[in-house]
Amino acid sequence: MIIAQAPLCQRGVGGVPIKHVGSVINMKARYIPNILSISRIFFGLAFLPLGYFKLMPWFLACFVLAGVSDVLDGILARKFDWQSELGEKLDSAADGVYVFAAIFTVIFTVENLKIALYCYVIFGLLLLGRAVNMIFTWVKFRRVGFIHTRSSRWASVPMFALLPLSVYLGYIPNIPLAVFLVLTTIAQLEETWILHIMRPGEYTMSLKSYWEWKRDREKALAAEANAAEQERETIPA
């Protein structure tokens, strides 16, 4: 007996009808930003000991891959609408591990004790500010993470020069250090101010700047005022 089979174009792949293959692939692809964030956690944890033992090729490979994953996960999530609450938490956790690992790598690879103690104080204050913002976020918004402002992104740029140079030279170059400290301080102050003035229902990790929040707040207030005015007009006198 001959059993008729559907054409290959209708049978699909792995038992999934061809018309549903695209949606299945898209469903799986939504996890790519999360996978990139998780990989950044492992790369961040890896380049700390690699930098300490001056294994430069492996250190640079992990450092660059961590930076590339930091850029790609956000781009992919926004471009293809793959954003999720879990993704935001993973991205913030990966950013925290990445930054802390970078700071401790710089501290542990500095050979001059005075400079090392000086760095302990400065970087300790930066880490303290980061921790304060995280606690503030949890207490006020019941969320865990950091706001990904443009200023925080710009603050990470000199770190890409500071970290490999410090590991390779054994000391911290003054100019990248100064730029990094100034930009990081500005970014943390901006985040603290945003957290202070933001209402609980307005919290989002993808906010780009204080000015974006102010613009959105003004639009929301104008919409609320228009809605209230329309409601008053519909009430009979």
pTM for this predicted structure:
0.70
Write the pLDDT tens digit of every residue in 114-128.
666 676 777 778 878
The position carrying tokens 């290959």 is: 8
Coil/strand/helix, residue 13: strand
Q: Who wins on pLDDT, 159 or 13?
A: 159
The set of residues, in sequence order, having a beta carbon less than 8 Å from that of 181 and lying 6+ positions away, is 122, 126
- Rounded to 10°, the helix 150-169/56-79 angle is 170
CA distances (Å), 77 to each of 145, 219, 234, in order?
Answer: 17, 25, 42
pLDDT tier, 95 (very low <50, low <70, confident <90, very high otherwise): confident
Report the pLDDT value the prediction gives residue 217, as an integer from 0 to 100: 82
Query: Residue 201 carries which DSSP code?
Result: G
Q: Tokens for 209?
A: 């700047």
pLDDT: is 120 or 21 the higher one? 120
Mean pLDDT, residues 186-193 taken together? 90
Which is more confident, 34 or 86?
34
How far is C-alpha 10 from the geometric centre of its chain's CA atoms? 42
Q: How confident is the model at residue 4 (pLDDT cuts 50, 70, 90)?
A: very low
Give the list of residues 6+ apart from residue 2 with CB closer than 8 angstroms, or none.
Answer: none
The predicted-structure confidence for 36-46, as pLDDT tens digits, reads as follows 889 988 988 88
DSSP state letter for 16: B
d(CA 108, CA 105): 5
- With a CB cutoff of 8 Å and minimum separation 6, the contacts of 116 are 107, 110
pLDDT tens digits, one per residue of 44-91: 888 888 887 878 888 888 888 888 888 888 788 778 878 777 887 788
Residues in a beta bridge with 107: none
Angle at 27 between CA 22 and CA 33, to 5 degrees: 125
What percentage of the chain reaches a pLDDT higher than 90? 2
Is the model's pLDDT at 2 over the cut of 70? Answer: no
Task: Look at the domain 14-206 and name its fold.
Answer: Four Helix Bundle (Hemerythrin (Met), subunit A) (1.20.120)
Cα–Cα dist 76/73, whole Å: 5
Domain extents in the chain: 14-206
Instruction: Examine the pLDDT at 163 and tell me if it is beyond 70.
Output: yes
- pLDDT band per the 50, 70, 90 thresholds, residue 1: very low
Contact 57, 69 (CB under 8 A): no
CA distance 90 to 40: 10
